[in-house]
Amino acid sequence: QVTLKESGPVLVKPTETLTLTCTVSGFSLSSVGVGVTWIRQPPGKALEWLAHIFSNDEKSYNTSLKNRLIISKDTSKSQVVLNLTNLGPVDTASYYCARISRGFRGSYFDSWGHGTQVTVSS
């Protein structure tokens, strides 16, 4: 059974750096064609893709946030970590991690975590 679980702080201050961890089970971060992505959703708003990392360490970032995001993985711990720097109130959102499966006809997010709520406030 594939599961993903997000963890991190609930409340962070403006200008601080957010560190979120996605711990996976039921699959390996070293499996070919598999990756993990981070997606966020501000309250009452749409989903916003942030970044992903694949088993071969291929990474990609949302271009509008690229200078603030860093994604990394620790295969031995089955964890993917997302760092988002210089936080502001607009970063208040639910943050989800999801598994990416890469197919011949495009990749898709086939398993999602429950999400973690992050509030940016002083």
Partner 1 sequence: SYELSQPASMSVSPGQTASITCSGDNLGEKYVCWYQQRPGQSPVLVIFQNRQRPSGIPERFLGSNSGNTATLTISGTQPMDEADYYCQAWDKSTAVFGGGTRLTVL
CA distance 13 to 19: 13
Residue 67 touching partner 1 (CB under 8 A): no
95 binds partner 1 (CB under 8 A): no
Query: How many residues interact with partner 1 (rule CB under 8 A)?
Result: 25
Contacting partner 1 (CB under 8 A), which of 11, 14, 75, 110? Answer: 110
Q: Look up tokens 């006809």; give the residue.
A: 105
Of 15-23, 26-34, 43-51, 80-88, the segment contacting partner 1 by CB under 8 A is 43-51
52 sits near partner 1 (criterion: CB under 8 A)? yes
Looking at 7-15, 22-30, 67-75, 100-108, which segment touches partner 1 (CB under 8 A)?
A: 100-108
Q: What is the CA radius of gyration of the chain?
A: 14
38 binds partner 1 (CB under 8 A): no
Neighbour-count burial for 39-77, b at 16+ CB within 10 Å, e otherwise = bbeeeeeeeeebbbbbbeeeeebbeebeebbebebeeee
